[in-house]
Structure 1
Amino acid sequence: MRAVPRHVACVMDGNGRWARRRSLPRTAGHRAAETAVIDVIEAARAAGVEWLSLYAFSTENWSRPSDEVDYLMRLVRRVVRKHAPLLLARGVRCRFLGVSDPRIPPELAQDFDDLTTLTGENRGMTLTVAFDHGGRRDIVEAARSLIRSGTPAGEVTEAVLAAHLPFPDTPDVDLVIRTSGEQRISNFMLWQVAYAEMVFPQVLWPDFRAPHFVECLQAYRRRDRRFGGAPTQPNGEH
């Protein structure tokens, strides 16, 4: 096993509960999450993680109250603009997975495009922000793309379908971290997480910091990844 997972994906969960425990509005939890995001990006870089994916906004999140959604759009735009110079300086290549819903403010979509272009030549860690993302939708769109391409059914393999997914150069996820203790995928990168190890720390995302991230990496190192094969650990433990 690699000492460090090549691709780590984080489901950033617990903002609302963090705020509620402090008798604050949910928006306060989203605002507090910014520090955790930057800390995890820095921790992943320092650890040698090559690909980091963050689940920022799902296709299902559109069902939240409109004032909360509007706040999130404004907050994400501020965060993107604020930290663009840091990401560029750190050699982080940024891109955004999803971003197809017309309800996304045009100025936010433009900021996503600008950051993608700004950091496109970076050769350090690749940061993928899943925004307006749904794993099932990605697979459906890949199937539609295959049909449009005229690929015969007998020629469709896993590799062929994967080549029609968004960002097909993205490697499979090695480690999924979901904070707040919840234990589900929530439609996140469904194709890529097929054989991922999963860690569910109890800490809420706004309180998640570099030491927590490192603990998750250490938990990954203790796993015996078999990909359906026979155990490599004595007595088949782990």
Structure 2
Amino acid sequence: MEFFAGFFDWINDPTAWVALLTLVVIEVVLGIDNLIFISILTNKLPPEHRVSARRIGIGAALLMRLLLLATVAWIVQLTNPLFTLFDQPFSWRDIILIVGGLFLVWKATKEIHHSVDPQDSKGNMVSDVVTLSFAGAVFQILLLDLVFSIDSIITAVGMTDEIAIMYIAVIVAVVAMLLAVNPLSRFIERNPTIVMLALAFLLMIGMTLIAEGMGFHVPKGYIYVAMGFSALVEILNMLSRRRRAGARSPQHSLPDS
């Protein structure tokens, strides 16, 4: 009982509520990267497997974050220098970010190449038949879940010392991801041009992870402002295309009576 009493001592502290709100917003924003990857990857699965893969991916993201929170002391140690290369210290966190970033760059580049040049090595057009297995999709989602989870928890540790605030923020962020993943995936599926934009986002996020792992701090605000502006431009393009398509439809060109 004493543990739980101390667990919620922060409730009467206004600054703790500010920290909670701030951390929830940060965790939700950080979850966007994870969400985009899950949406693109699961859309390559057969329709009957997509919802299950999304739930498994987001459920695993929640489980990983909660388990990592239970080992906060170990997580903090991941930022301790492991070795030095070219006068640059590298920790386990740096290595994980670099590996995760390289994977994202490879995955996004591969998908962009397939979209731009949808032909196999023999010059034959590749069909739209799904080539990604359920197990393969889940494995890739879990791999990126781990990378994003470690980054998320380290961010939480840097924001507050209250473990309860960290738990609440992580749970709220993952629930938001769970509610948003299906609408986002359907939106991407209905608008093919969004796929290229989302892949470009993943490419940029991958490069950012690599830069962070190499010791170059990239302000997250710049990244998300750029993503928001690009998304706004694409939305305007979509509205423009729909207006032009509507103007060309037969109902707008009825014969004179």
Q: TM-score, normalised by structure 1?
A: 0.27
Q: Give the number of the structure whose residues are more often strand, by fraction.
A: 1
Q: Give the number of the structure whose residues are more often helix, by fraction.
A: 2
Q: TM-score, normalised by structure 2?
A: 0.26
